[in-house]
Amino acid sequence: MAARKKPSAFRQTLRRAALPALVVTVMAFFGGYAVLGPNGLLALGDYKRQLVKREQDYAALDRKRAVLRNRVALLDPDHANPDMVDEMVRKELNVTHPDEVIVPLDRK
């Protein structure tokens, strides 16, 4: 039986330090990802800005929906608003009285 060589002190130190070094590397990776990643702390400010923008867009759409809901209610077949019906007929058929003045409104 051959005698085994005893590993050097450097190799022993390397073997003992390998696992802690690997753990520190993995922890550093996940820590960096938690700060710099797409869902990290630095992205939080961007998410907040996007949320404010989306809430403003939602409020504008909600106001527009309320206007449209009102127009639909005015055109209800059971009790239509005569002014609304008159406005729509004139707009669609391009009909005016000779003594009327038309002021175009740019509605979006």
**What sign for the dihedral angle of Cα 62, 66, 67, 68?**
positive
Distance separating alpha carbons of residues 77 and 85, to the nearest angstrom: 10
pLDDT in tens, 48-94: 999 999 999 999 999 999 999 988 888 888 888 888 888 888 878 87
> How big, in percent rounded to 5, are the helix, strand and coil portions of the chain?
70, 0, 30
State the Cα–Cα distance between residues 32 and 46, nearest whole angstrom.
Answer: 18
Domain layout of the chain by residue ranges: 9-38, 50-108
Model confidence pLDDT, tens digit, residues 57-66: 999 999 999 9
CA distance 18 to 14: 6
- What is the rounded CA–CA span in Å between residue 60 and residue 63? 5
Spatial separation of the C-alpha atoms in residues 103 and 97, rounded to whole Å: 14
pTM value is 0.51
